Copies of this chain bind each other. A is one copy, B any other.
Amino acid sequence: MALIDTPYLLFLGDAPDPLAAKVAQGIKDWRPEFAIGQYRMEGCQADMGIPDLDIKEAIAAGCKTLVIGVANRGGVISQAWKKVLVEALEEGLDLASGLHNLLRDEPDLVAVAEACGRQLHDVRIPAVKYPIANGEKRKGKRCLAVGTDCSVGKMYTALCLEREMRDRGMKATFRATGQTGILITGDGVPLDAVIADFMAGSIEYLTPDNEADHWDLIEGQGSLFHVSYSGVTMALIHGGQPDALILSHEPTRANMRGLPGYQLPSLEALRDMALALAKVANPECQVVGISVNTQKMGEDEAKAYLAKVEDEMGLPATDPFRFGAGKLVDALAAI
């Protein structure tokens, strides 16, 4: 059951460019059935290619929640936005947001939401009191992408795997652990905002017992080799008790994201470290493949790189967003 009622009206506001609306784009790309319409204000430079609906039209079309699918300027929810958000609440929509400044910190929105009996979902804040992890073996299968660095394509990898598995008729669920993933699917754990003692437990909660042939595709976070966030990654590996790891990499990066003095590890180093740690929670865990984010490479260059990685690592390698996730799903299906 989703935390956030679907389907959505995607609020694009006064997005200065398409990149500012990347949350909306993610929802439209990965959950098109949730993206009934978009709401664009004057000057909006983003367009999802779905119907422009006003609040009343959105409700008539079945929308349940207005999702803020755009980054705001200067960390302030402007009065121009407020007017739309208040109307949405008054007419019967919930609001959902991944903004740093919270909906719940806006007294006018809180007052209207209470008066109208609507929900304000700030997906940066955990909505659940998570347990401490108990480490008990759960049924069903789990796959986790672990990266050589942060922001190398772990979320897209998991979403690509889910889509490919569902296309094949396999049972598969993307499990969101970050703000964008939660808004895309309507549910998940905002892991970077969870209290330290409950991190692994939150992932156990997110990926419960399931059918033996069901795959949870867990959104990765951080990297074991990124000193700012490695504890979060560790909790995913032990809370998720994955059966399969996929190594994620972006080959053109000069240093670890935000850490100028730190080099990226090799894929071999990532494989050995992540697998040894994963076996603590699941001795059967395997590294099954490699997901490379090739967006900064030409097509020939990307294919040559993937062939080299496959040869060196002895594992299937692809850019699942660019060339399809088939190889990786073949490897997972063989477990």
A-side interface residues toward B, CB under 8 Å? 132-137, 191-197, 199-201, 224-225, 227-235, 237-239, 241, 256, 258-259, 261-262, 265, 273, 276-277, 280-281
Contact = CB atoms under 8 A, between A and B. Distances in A.
A193 B197 contact: yes
Given A135-B259, A192-B196, A230 B225 contact: no
Contacts of A134: 228, 258-259
B135 A228 contact: yes
Contacts of A201: 228
B273 A276 contact: yes
Contact of A230 (B132, B193, B195, B234): B234
Given A137-B261, A280-B225, A230 B200 contact: yes
Contact of A229 (B200, B241, B259): B200
Number of copies: 2
16 contacts: A132-B228, A133-B227, A134-B259, A135-B227, A137-B261, A195-B195, A196-B235, A199-B231, A200-B230, A224-B234, A224-B277, A225-B280, A227-B239, A230-B237, A234-B234, A262-B280
A189 to B, nearest CB: 10
A192 to B, nearest CB: 4
A82 to B, nearest CB: 27
Contact of A231 (B232, B256, B262, B273): B232
**Most chain B beta-carbon contacts within 10 A, residue among A235, A258, A262:** A235
A196 B126 CA distance: 12
A197 B229 contact: yes
A231 B277 CA distance: 11
Which 6 residue pairs are nearest across A and B when measured between Cβ atoms? A231-B235, A227-B238, A231-B231, A234-B234, A192-B197, A133-B228
A227 B203 CA distance: 11
Given A135-B259, A135-B262, A234-B234, A227 B280 contact: yes
A211 B134 CA distance: 42
Contact of A197 (B136, B232, B261): B232
B261 A136 contact: yes
B193 A196 contact: yes
Contacts of A135: 227-228, 256, 259, 261-262
B196 A232 contact: yes
B239 A235 contact: no
Contacts of A262: 135, 280
Given A132-B228, A229-B200, A231-B200, A193 B193 contact: no
Contacts of A225: 280
A290 to B, nearest CB: 21
A68 to B, nearest CB: 21
Given A135-B261, A193-B195, A200 B228 contact: yes
Contacts of A237: 230
Contacts of A241: 227
Given A227-B280, A239-B227, A194 B193 contact: no
A281 B227 contact: yes
Contacts of A239: 227
A196 B199 contact: yes
Given A132-B228, A224-B277, A227-B281, 14 more contacts: A133-B227, A134-B228, A135-B227, A135-B261, A136-B261, A192-B195, A192-B196, A193-B195, A195-B196, A196-B196, A199-B231, A200-B231, A230-B234, A231-B233
